[in-house]
Amino acid sequence: MLTYRAAGSETRLPGSALSYGTLLLVEDGAELFVAADVVAGVEAGPGAAWVGVSFAEAMWT
């Protein structure tokens, strides 16, 4: 469990919810990079699945 503390508050996040690097970007106020990091993280899963399925289909046909 990741605990993030800022401005007197404490938020507990599951380890896979946000990366530590994303939290650091939030602290720095880099909203564009935070958005890009979140989008890349969300797209990485389906993208990896697509590559795996494509590779498997190519190997088995």
For 6-58, the pLDDT digits (tens) are 555 555 555 555 677 777 778 888 888 888 888 887 888 888 899 999 999 99
Rounded distance, CA 28 to CA 10, Å? 18
- The pLDDT value given to residue 1: 46
Please name every residue paired with 6 in a beta bridge, in sequence order, or none if there are none: 9
The pLDDT score that the predictor gives to residue 27 is 82
Q: Using a cut of 0.85, tell me whether the model's pTM lies above it.
A: no
Alpha-carbon distance 1 to 15, whole Å? 5
pLDDT at 5: 54
Helices in 1-61 by DSSP H: which ranges?
Answer: 20-28, 31-60
* Per-residue confidence (pLDDT) for residue 18, from 0 to 100: 60
Question: What torsion, rounded to 10 degrees, do the Cα atoms 28, 30, 36, 39 define?
Answer: 60
